Structure 1
Amino acid sequence: MSKNVILSNGERENPSPLIYDKHKKHCIFRTKTLLSEEKKEDEKCTVSVVFIDHEGYIRNAGIIKHTVPELEEGRMPKINAIILHRTDSSTINGTLASFSKGIGAHFIVEKDGNIYQAASLFVYTSHVGKIKSRCKEEKTWSSEEKKKIEAFGWNAKKIHDHEKIKQYPYRYPYNMDSVGIEVIALYDKKNKKWESATDSQKKSIEKLVDIIKNIYELEDRDVYEHDKISYKTEGEGADLYSVN
C-alpha cells in the first residue's frame, strides 16, 4: 500500500496510484520442474495487482468503468469512510440515468453482482445529504453541546452546518470525505420494506468494501448505513455488509 501524502493540517491526501496490498493472498502459484537440475522454479504470482489509476478508477478488479460527469463535484482530499445506499430502482440503466441529474454515488452494484464505477475516487459526489449530529445520535454529547444542538430544533441544515466543521470521527462522514456505494434495490412503500440484496450483490459489496478499506486504511467502523447518518428512509443501508 502506498503511503498517503501528509497535508499541512496533518491529514493525508488522496494520492495516486494506490495499491491494494492483499493481492498476494489470492495468488495462484505455479511451479516448474527443470529436467536438468530437477528443482522447482521460483514461485511466481500470476494475479494482476489491484490499484487505483491516475484518474481515480479501480483497475484489475473486474469493475466496469462508466463515468457520469455530472456526478463529479470537486476534489476529495481525504477519504474517511464508506457509505452504503440502496437505489430505489430496478435496473442499472435507470440508475445511471438518474445519476446524470447530479445526485449519486461513486459505485453501483447490480443485481447480478457487476460493479460499476461512475465517478473518480479523487472527487466527491452528492450522495449523503445533510448529516445528523453524531454526538446526539450516540449520546456522547457534553451538556454544553447538548444545549446548543437542541436549540437548533428540527432544523437539519443548522445541525449539518454545525457538524461539518468538526473533525472526523467526531462527526459523521459527509459528501466531501466519503465513498458512496449504491446497491440496486426497490423500496416497497406499502409494506415499508427495502428489497434484500442478492447473494451476488453481497459478495461484490464485500469485495469492493475490502478493496477500499485496504487502500485507504479504513476499518469496519468506517463503514456506515446511509439512513443512520442522514435523514433517509429507514433501512436503506441495512443488511448489505457484515462486519467481520
Structure 2
Amino acid sequence: MTKSLRIVHLFPELLNLYGDSGNILVLRRRLAWRGLVADVAEVHVGERPSFADADIVFIGGGSDREQRIVCESLLAEQAELSSFVEDGGVLAAVCGGYQLLGHSYLMGDEKIEGLSLVDLYTDRGEPRLIGNVVVESPICDHPIVGYENHGGRTHLGEGVEPLGSVTYGHGNDGVTGQEGCLYKNVLGTYVHGPLLPKNPGVADYLLSRALERRYGNGELEPLDDAAELTANKSMYDRLMAGEVEEQ
C-alpha cells in the first residue's frame, strides 16, 4: 500500500503573501520523490474546512484584511481545529497565519480574538520588523533562512517553545531573540520566502511528524538536497558576512 498524507491548505486565494503557496508545492514534491502521495485539499472562502482526516494543515500569511476574513471563518471551526492540534495533528502557520494561532492579535487599535490553539498573543509595535532573517532551530541541521515583514510582536506563553533563536534579523518581537513557536506538532513562524524551498529540513520535519502520527513511523528516505542547501548556505553566508544591504 502506498502511503499518503492529506494536506489541508486553508484559503490560498487570501493567504499567499510572499509566495507562501510554494510551501505546498515543496511538501507535495518531497513526498513524490519518496514514492509517497500528497492529497491536497484547498479550502476556499465560503467553504467549511474539515480536519477529521487531515494530516497537515497549512495557513499562510496575508494582510490585516485577509487575516480578519480567515479568522472569522476559522473561529466557527475552532473546536475541531483545536481537537486536531491536541491530537498531534501537524499545523504549519506563517506570519499572519502564525498570529491567528494565539489568543488575540491587534489590528490597528482593535484587539481581535484569535483561535487560542497555542498559548501566545500578538500586539503591535513600531517600526515594522522587515528584512532577511536567520534562525537556528533544533528541528533541522541547517539554519532556517527567509524574509520577515510584520508589525506584530508575538509573545509566547509558559510551556511554548520558540522555533529557534535569531542570529540575523528580528524574530517574534525584535527583543527576546526568539523566532516562531513549537507546540505539540504546531509550527508557527514569521519566516516567508516562501519558507520551505530553501529550508528542506523544515519540510521534512513536518512530513516526518505527520507520517509518525498517521502510520506510526516517521522515518524518511534521504533525498539529494544539494541544490536546496547550496541556496540556503549562500544566503546564510552573505547575511552573516554583512553583504546584504537591508532597506
State the TM-score, normalizing by the size of structure 2.
Answer: 0.25
Greater Rg by CA: 1
Q: Which has the higher contact order (CA 8 A, sep 6+)?
A: 1
